[in-house]
Amino acid sequence: MDAYVSDARLKPFWRDGYSVVDAIKENKKKILFLSHPANWNGFTFENFKENIKRLYESFYMI
């Protein structure tokens, strides 16, 4: 792995300020990209509800 890139919940939207574009521009060959698409929208309350639902299901829907 030449680069690790992860999105962040808040601006600048990239953990450590290092984006996929940065890694590509640096000609990194193997990029590990961790993304959290639920964080990309501004619906914080909706995301919270979905997280609680998944937590509930993990305990009671086994």
Q: Please give the pLDDT value at position 22.
A: 95
Assign 3-class secondary structure to 40-52: HCCCHHHHHHHHH
- In this structure, what token pair is assigned to residue 62? 């086994």
Q: Please give the pLDDT value at position 62.
A: 58
Query: Taking a C-beta distance cutoff of 8 angstroms, is the pair 31, 20 a contact?
Result: yes
Distance (Å, rounded) from C-alpha 45 to C-alpha 20? Answer: 28
Query: Taking a C-beta distance cutoff of 8 angstroms, is the pair 19, 33 a contact?
Result: no
pLDDT tens readout for residues 4-36? 999 887 777 888 889 999 999 999 999 999 988
Please tell me the pTM assigned to this model: 0.60
User: What region does 11 belong to: left with phi over 0, alpha with psi -120 to 50, or beta?
Assistant: beta
